[in-house]
Chains A and B, each alone.
Chain A
Amino acid sequence: MKRGKGRNRKGWLANAALCAAALTVIGALVVLPLGVILAEAFSGGWRLWAASVAEPEARGAILLTLAVTALAVPLNTVFGVAAAWALAKFRFRGRSLLLTLVDLPFAVSPVIAGLIFVLVFGRSGWFGGWLAERGLKVIFGTPGIVLATLFVTFPFVARELIPLMSEQGSEEEQAALSLGASGWKTFFKVTLPNIKWGLLYGIILCNARAMGEFGAVSVVSGHIRGETLTLPLHVEVLYNEYNFTAAFACASLLAGLAVVTIILKTVVELKGARDAA
């Protein structure tokens, strides 16, 4: 009896020590930085925060970020679904090579991702002369920002869907087809409902990265005020001008995006798990 109690207390102590250690790590590395952003953003009061966010350059940066995301996320979503259909539902030669290539952008660091587009479309790049003759600007313009964003967010949807669709197999699709449904109808009525949570999960992560990308976009943007500054680049410019309150006010919008992202991600995970059960 006494021994059992002793062991219980030992177990309680071990659990308390474990909780303390883990919460210290998460508190110091995750909660504290988030708290600093909010504290700095509102250090001048609510009004100053609102003024920093609503100021024309900040508004322009927000609009550019939304526009780039609105282009990049749907394109990579369509690609992700197509790639998953080909790679998960069929077996063919070169399949494993293609699987590796789809993941390749994750292995390339953001700055290098920006650099490669400069090498193709920049002033002395492959198509630089051709573009300049026609007065077109890719690098130091919105097209370059879209391309760099497409590159860094390339695998998100595909990598979520490929394992999911491989696991689900294709019996249900075969049944639908043998009952006379067309290919597209089979996709929209059978496949899409089965993959919806995985698809949504991929889109959420893709969206967060598209809105928040910094390194790759920084290389191709040229930092032209009111023209090629996305919201993360606008934060950088403000910060380097020692305009800390405004920098953190804009950063708090992006931090809010991150918080919303992890909330949505948790909800989608729970829904997906419930559907699978």
Chain B
Amino acid sequence: MNRLKFKQNSVLPGFGLSLGFTVFYLSLIVLVPLSALILRSAEGGLEGFWRTVSQPRVLASFRVTFASALQAALLNVVFGVTVAWFLVRGRFPLKRLVDALVDLPFAMPTAVSGIALTALLAPNSALGLALARLGVQVAFTPHGITVAMIFIGLPFVIRSVQPALADLSAELEEAASSLGATRAQTLWRVVLPLLAPSILSGFTLAFARALGEYGSVVFIAGNMPMRTEIASLLIITKLEQFDYTGATAIAVALLALSLLGILAINLIQARAARHWGN
């Protein structure tokens, strides 16, 4: 009988009002506009969708976006775990300040990050000149896109790994080393498997954020079609040409590809969790 009821009994008031407002507001701001994306993309038909998405320029933009996001998320795992390790286990007088600074890329408006990174790495800047002497150009190349994506993704990995690392009891490591494991063995066989789920979820968050990122990337990317043009920018270009169908098709493809990517990572995570038994 209880199974058939919509809601479990409660003495608290306001269920109807709060749920009603939630559903109404959610529909107004999120669901109806998002359904426009799906319905409008269906208007052009499957053939029209494919014609847009299979254009070389569109494919190239997907390739650039995904490759850069993947690179950035992988590098962020290295940087993020290092910083998280420092924040949990390091001894440093100004640790609290560093801890607060970690959130700055998240709080900084993306356009501001974009022009700051560009100014920092432009070919005529001090750093840009030094890198040019080494034969590396970062700004206005695919490397620039990766740098911007590292910047915006870093807090996600740190904030995922930090609590997991803090929960890790030192006794486990002591037990491993008292049983004769070397430090490297302890890290690889004991610590890493315990941190893996949080590292993976940080990686996923950073990757997802990088895929859709626009503001911090467009300034440093140079935006050359086929080479440094990201998918988000191509959507805007199509819109400026009043090609709504094209813009919608690219948006749907980007959304679908990123959902697939996240789904794949979640599957890996579930498998890893089963494998390591946590």
Tell me the A residues contacting B by CB distance below 8 Å.
15, 18-19, 21-23, 25-26, 29-34, 36-37, 40, 79, 82-83, 85-87, 89-93, 98, 101-102, 104-105, 107-112, 115-120, 122-126, 147, 150-151, 154, 170, 173-174, 177-178, 183, 186-187, 205, 208, 211-215, 218-219, 232-233, 235-236, 239, 244, 247-248, 251, 254-255, 257-259, 261-263, 265-266
User: Complex formed: what's the CA distance from A90 to B10 in Å?
Assistant: 7
Return chain A residues, CB-CB under 8 Å to B235.
111-112, 115
Q: Name B7's closest neighbour in chain A (CB-CB).
A: A92
A89 to B150 CA separation, bound complex (whole angstroms) = 39
B198: Cβ under 8 A from any A Cβ: no
Pair A109/B12 contact, Cβ less than 8 Å: no
CB proximity to A under 8 Å, residues B158-208 = 208
Minimum distance in angstroms from B210 CB to a CB of chain A: 10
- Residues of chain A within 8 A of B119, CB atoms compared: 36, 40, 244, 248
Interface hub of B8, B107, B258 (most chain A Cβ within 10 A): B107
How distant is the Cα of A33 from the Cα of B154 in the complex, in angstroms?
Answer: 14
Answer yes or no: B54 CB below 8 A from chain A CBs: no
Q: A85-B18, A93-B7, A215-B232 are in contact. Are A110 and B30 (CB under 8 A)?
A: no
Q: What residue of chain A has the Cβ atom nearest to residue B147's Cβ? A: A29
CA gap between A73 and B150 in the complex, in Å: 29
The 5 residue pairs across chains A and B that have the minimum distance between CB atoms = A109-B212, A212-B109, A22-B86, A215-B214, A183-B13
Measured in the bound complex, the distance between the Cα atoms of B94 and A187 in whole Å is 40
Are A86 and B19 in contact (CB-based, < 8 A)? yes
Contact in complex: B83, A26 (CB < 8 Å): yes
Q: List 14 A-B contacts (CB under 8 A).
A: A31-B101, A32-B120, A36-B119, A37-B116, A101-B30, A105-B30, A154-B29, A170-B10, A170-B12, A212-B107, A214-B109, A218-B214, A232-B110, A248-B115
Residues of A within 8 A of B154 (CB): 25, 29-30
User: Given A18-B90, A31-B101, A89-B12, are A214 and B111 also a contact pair (CB < 8 Å)?
Assistant: yes
> For chain B, which range describes its interface: under 10, 10 to 19, 20 to 34, or 35 or more residues?
35 or more
Out of B10, B19, B37, B112, name the residue touching A119 (CB < 8 Å): B37
**A115 and B29 alpha carbons, distance in the complex (Å):** 13
Provide the residues of chain B in CB contact with A34, threshold 8 Å.
104, 116
Q: Are A236 and B212 in contact (CB under 8 A)?
A: no
* Residues of A close to B37: CB separation below 8 A: 112, 115-116, 119
Cβ-neighbour of B117 out of A33, A125, A257 (below 8 A): A33
Min CB distance A269 to B, Å, is 9
In the bound complex, do residue B86 and residue A19 qualify as a contact, i.e. CB atoms below 8 Å apart?
A: yes
Distance, CA A208 to CA B99, complexed state (A): 19
Contacting residues of chain B (93-139) with chain A, CB-CB under 8 angstroms: 96, 98-105, 107-113, 115-117, 119-120
Chain B, residue nearest A119 (CB): B36
- B276 interface residue (CB < 8 Å to A): no
Interface residues of B (CB under 8 A from A): 6-8, 10-15, 17-19, 21-23, 25-26, 29-34, 36-37, 40, 79, 82-83, 85-87, 89-92, 96, 98-105, 107-113, 115-117, 119-120, 150-151, 154, 208, 211-215, 219, 232-233, 235-236, 239, 242, 244, 247-248, 251, 254-255, 258-259, 262
Check if A115 sits within 8 Å of B108, measured CB to CB. Answer: no
Q: How far is the CB of B187 from chain A (nearest CB, A)?
A: 12
Q: In whole angstroms, what is the CA distance A34 to B115 when docked?
A: 11
Q: A22-B85, A110-B212 are in contact. Are A30 and B112 (CB under 8 A)?
A: no
CB pair A82–B22 under 8 Å, yes or no, is yes
In the complex, the answer to whether B22 meets A83 with C-beta atoms within 8 Å is yes
User: Across the interface, do A261 and B244 meet the contact criterion of CB distance under 8 Å?
Assistant: no
Q: Bound complex: CA of A108 vs CA of B244, how far in Å?
A: 18
Closest to A261 in B: B107
Question: From B103, which residue of chain A is reached at the shortest CB distance?
Answer: A262
- Chain B residues contacting A109 (CB-CB under 8 Å) are 211-214, 232, 254-255, 258
Whether the pair B14, A187 counts as a contact (CB closer than 8 A) is yes
- CA–CA, A118 and B258, complex, Å: 22
For A126, the chain B residues whose CB sits under 8 A away are 36
Instruction: With CB as the reference atom, state the residue of chain A lying closest to B80.
Output: A25
Check if B86 sits within 8 Å of A18, measured CB to CB: yes
Asked if A118 and B239 sit within 8 Å, CB to CB, the answer is yes
Chain A min CB distance to B10 (Å): 6
Q: Which of A79, A107, A125, A251 contacts B22 (CB 8 A)?
A: A79
List residues of chain A with CB within 8 A of the CB of B247.
115
Q: Are A110 and B29 in contact (CB under 8 A)?
A: no
Given the complex, which residues of B lie within 8 Å of A23, measured CB to CB? 86, 92, 98
Q: Is the CB of A258 within 8 A of B109?
A: yes
